[in-house]
Amino acid sequence: MSLVARSLLPAALLLAAGLVAGCMSGGGPEPEFAEGQPFPERTLNDQHGNPVELPGNARVILKTVEAAPAGVANAVLSEMSPAEREGIVYIADIHEMPPQPMQNVVLPRMQARDYSIVVTSSEADAGFLPHEREQVTVVLLDGEGVVTGVGHAGSEEALKDLLDEAGE
């Protein structure tokens, strides 16, 4: 083994051990979202560009990423009266959507809805929230904005059940 290789080998092993330890401990900063903790405060914009304070007076926050769960959320919210939607904030995480379909198709459809849809412009907006593929994430909050539970719904029936539980 050459002199250079012998002198670099301990440093490489130390670096590898540090990376493994960091991965095993979770590494990085603590998440800013957890049950029993206050929902992180944010101001985002809805589909009309109006600011929405989160959590505000929300008792439920819905988050979708893919099209199918967005369809589930929109179907359920469209059936509800404005009074029934009171306290429900819907976040459509669309920050990775290509600009052309976003501007020409998705945003006009959102703007036609008679309820507010918070839209994301970066991963920092809603990337901290849990997500399961093809599911609506349902975050339950108490009256003080503290996270009391997280659920996921893949169908209209499942989402309605979670929203009914939140209203009890």
What are the pLDDT digits (tens) for 66-109? 999 999 999 999 999 999 999 999 999 999 999 999 999 999 99
Amino acid letter at 48? H
- 116 — phi, psi (to 5°)? -75, 135
Cβ count near 126 (within 10 Å): 25
pLDDT of residue 36: 95
Nearest one of 76, 103, 79 to 160, comparing CA atoms:
76
pLDDT of residue 23: 42
Amino acid letter at 135? Q
Element holding 148 (H helix, E strand): strand 147-153
Using left for φ > 0, alpha for ψ between -120 and 50, and beta otherwise, residue 109 falls in alpha
pLDDT of residue 1: 56
pLDDT of residue 166: 84
Element holding 20 (H helix, E strand): helix 3-24
Domain 31-167 has CATH 3.40.30.10: yes
Task: Give the strand pairing for 60-64 and 136-141.
Answer: antiparallel
Task: Give the strand pairing for 42-46 and 118-119.
Answer: antiparallel
Which residues in the chain show pLDDT less than 50?
Answer: 4-5, 8-30
Q: Return the domain boundaries, the chain.
A: 1-29, 31-167
Q: Are 87 and 57 spatial neighbours (Cβ–Cβ below 8 Å)?
A: yes
pLDDT of residue 165: 86
